[in-house]
């Protein structure tokens, strides 16, 4: 735990103990997959398990047919850079239309919590499960604070990691 100075009611100041994972107000996460639903500027991936707001996100593509969020359609494969807020909402900052139609779904970011009994870990507001078939690369098991990329599949209405790989620190 780190000791942080936090302002309290104007001129008053107090000291509080805060765990490092509670300090971040927003957390960067990466998503990759085919769009499963579009409703205005709200986009869903992974069969609706993940939903994010795309209003204001930059769109990048080699195809002139995709110039704004309204051009994105069901089945379009996207790579999304986003921030997750403490309230569980996800806001896309960049949506890149992928020309790789066979790219598998992925979630990337810093592991927040790990429940070894339930075999789950979180990245932002997303809970990702693992099982005996999950392959771990460059890490023996998930640990809070690790930056990872997880190849996922939808299984039983949840995200199940098929591969979890440790990533290098972000810029």
d(CA 77, CA 36): 10
Mean pLDDT of 118-124: 97
CA 161 to chain centre: 13
Label the pairing between strands 106-115 and 120-123: antiparallel
* Distance from C-alpha of 3 to C-alpha of 15, rounded to nearest angstrom: 7
| Cβ-proximal residues to 123 (8 Å cutoff; 6+ apart), any chain | 29, 107, 108, 109, 110, 111, 112, 148, 150
60-87 burial: b if 16+ Cβ within 10 Å, else e = ebeeeebeebeebeeebbbbbbbbbeee
pTM over 0.95: no
**What is the model's pLDDT at position 64?**
65
- Band of residue 54 on the pLDDT scale cut at 50, 70, 90: very high
Q: H or E stretch including 22?
A: helix 20-23
State what percent of residues in the chain have pLDDT above 90: 65
Domains contained in the chain, CATH given: 26-97 (2.40.50.320), 106-166 (2.40.50.320)
What's the pLDDT at 2? 33
């Amino acid at each position: 735990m780190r000791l942080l100075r936090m302002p309290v009611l104007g001129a008053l100041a107090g000291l509080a103990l805060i765990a490092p994972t509670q300090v971040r107000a927003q957390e960067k996460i990466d998503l990759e997959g085919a769009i499963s639903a579009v409703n205005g500027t709200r986009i869903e991936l992974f069969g609706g398990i993940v939903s994010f707001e795309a209003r204001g996100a930059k769109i990048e593509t080699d195809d002139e047919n995709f110039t704004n969020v309204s051009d994105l359609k069901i089945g379009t494969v996207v790579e999304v850079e986003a921030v997750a807020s403490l309230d569980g909402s996800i806001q896309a900052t960049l949506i890149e239309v992928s020309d790789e139609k066979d790219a598998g779904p992925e979630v990337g970011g810093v592991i927040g919590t790990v429940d070894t009994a339930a075999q789950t870990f979180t990245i932002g507001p997303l809970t990702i499960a693992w099982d005996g078939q999950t392959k771990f690369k460059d890490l023996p098991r998930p640990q809070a604070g690790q930056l990872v990329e997880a190849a996922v599949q939808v299984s039983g209405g949840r995200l199940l990691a098929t591969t979890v790989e440790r990533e290098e620190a972000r810029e």
